[in-house]
Chains A and B, each alone.
Chain A
Amino acid sequence: MNILSEIGESLQRGEDDRVGALVRQALEQRCEPHRILNEGLIAGMDVVGEQFRLREIFLPDVLLAARAMYTGLDLLRPLLARDGVPTAGRVVLGSVHGDLHDIGKNLVSIMLKGAGFDVMDLGNDVPAERFVDAAREHGASVIGLSALLTTTMPVMKEVVELVRARGLAGRVRVIVGGAPVSEAWAREIGADAHGYDAANAVERVRALVAARG
């Protein structure tokens, strides 16, 4: 088996130390960092995402794999930056103002990073302007909003309106998610997408980035 497939398979088993060792070995063998990322780590994480979608594995397995992914990514990050390798896209993410829950948002962040996105996590209790300012400042193409309670959902509408008011519609897309958030709510407030779970959020963000071209 080639070393990149080995990285992917170790990652699927959540073997973080082994993934670290294999990434180091691949670098020693002069394998290019972007290939280790795409054909090793991301390819492995894609399999994990698909198994999760099919309910063949469950959240704990996905997160053990994510930890292994981070171990590899930490080694590659400086090299990818040096080589100017583009990411799958940049996403600004956070739980909206008034909302302190972050477990769901964290899971979305983990899955997006696993799919090769550059995620700027603004944390929780984030005011509408901060999302839009951060997206503009860092050239993000997607803003991801998470909410736990119906009382905090209206902030999502504020963000969508602010994106339009600042003339960013079309360039910056908004995806919403969280327990009480639905596809219908996303449509009602004019958001570009709704993600019902973390794996689905990745699919939707990929589609948003692709549509933007």
Chain B
Amino acid sequence: MRERVRWTAADSVPERAEVLSLQGMPPGAGVPPRIAALHDAALAAYLEAAEPRAIVGEISREEFAEVYRGAGRNAAATPLEAVFPRADRLALFTATVGRGLTERIRDLFERNEPALAAMLDSVASAAADRLATLLGPRYLAMAGDAGANGARVLAYSPGYCGWHVSGQRALFAFLEPGEIGVTLNPSCLMEPLKSVSGVLVAGPAGIHRFAPAFPFCAECREKPCRERIAALSGS
């Protein structure tokens, strides 16, 4: 199974709190009117320029083991190597909010609108991240499984949790996401910039649980895995 997904810009709009946290504002901090207005202006610019889309391609566990190995630069032990062999199904994905946003952000900087440029950057970043989350239920639906058996989908990305960022090369070679306009440069940077890639892992909630006590966890600033694991028991 391989499918191209399109969303409306409105579908991909992130929560304001998420955007403001990328602007360094702690959760619960009061939002002064001038910052709320800036956020609203950035949102309007996002809705004009965003073209969110993705490509999802299923992959067997054996094939994924090969992709995951990549160029052999992963950490010695990683959570994903214990998660994916227990999955019901796996799919590679690439998602983007489009090229127009990068240009819009650059243009705003050049026109001396740094506050709006940076706010739009944060909106676009949070939106790109959101696409990976939106793909979860979408993937279950594509696979004809509404998650009735308690299956959950979580996305794991190269560059996180010991999966070396160079792993994007093998991922791109398998998925070939060029048709949605996403390319990979020699440094493993995706263009357009506001893009994400990874593997969707579908299976019982339990397979996704791990203790964040790997050596690389000490350097991780955000520890997003904790929230993701906590949300598994909540839903």
Contacts and interface: CB of A to CB of B under 8 A. Distances in A.
B143 interface: no
A60 B35 contact: yes
Contacts of A149: 159, 165, 187-189
Given A63-B118, A98-B187, A100-B189, A70 B112 contact: yes
A6 interface: no
B193 A106 contact: no
| Tier of interface size on chain A | 20 to 34
Contacts of A152: 187, 189
Interface in B1-58: 23-26, 29, 34-35, 38
**Chain A interface SS verdict (over half):** helix
Contacts of B166: 151
Contacts of A110: 114
Contacts of B109: 106
Interface in A42-56: 55
B187 A99 contact: yes
A152 B112 CA distance: 28
Contacts of B23: 58-60
Contacts of B35: 58, 60-61
A59 B29 contact: no
B28 to A, nearest CB: 13
B105 A63 contact: no
A55 B35 CA distance: 16
Contact of A150 (B38, B113, B115, B165): B165
A59 B118 contact: yes
Contacts of B29: 58
A107 interface: yes
A55 B105 CA distance: 25
A60 B105 contact: no
B194 to A, nearest CB: 10
B189 A98 contact: yes
A60 B118 contact: yes
A64 B115 contact: yes
A64 B29 CA distance: 18
Contacts of A70: 112
Nearest to A102: B106
A92 interface: no
A149 B23 CA distance: 20
A100 B191 contact: yes
A101 interface: yes
A66 B189 contact: no
Contact of A60 (B38, B189, B193): B38
A79 interface: no
Contacts of A58: 23-25, 29, 35
Nearest to A103: B121
B25 to A, nearest CB: 5
Contacts of A59: 23-25, 118
Contacts of A148: 189
B191 A66 contact: no
B193 A101 contact: yes
B92 interface: no
Interface of B: 23-26, 29, 34-35, 38, 105-106, 109, 112-115, 117-119, 121, 159, 165-166, 185-189, 191, 193
Nearest 4 pairs between A and B by C-beta? A98-B187, A63-B115, A63-B114, A151-B187
Interface of A: 14, 55, 58-61, 63-64, 66-67, 70-71, 97-103, 106-107, 110, 148-152
14 contacts: A55-B26, A61-B35, A63-B114, A63-B118, A66-B114, A100-B189, A103-B117, A106-B109, A106-B118, A149-B188, A149-B189, A151-B166, A151-B187, A152-B187
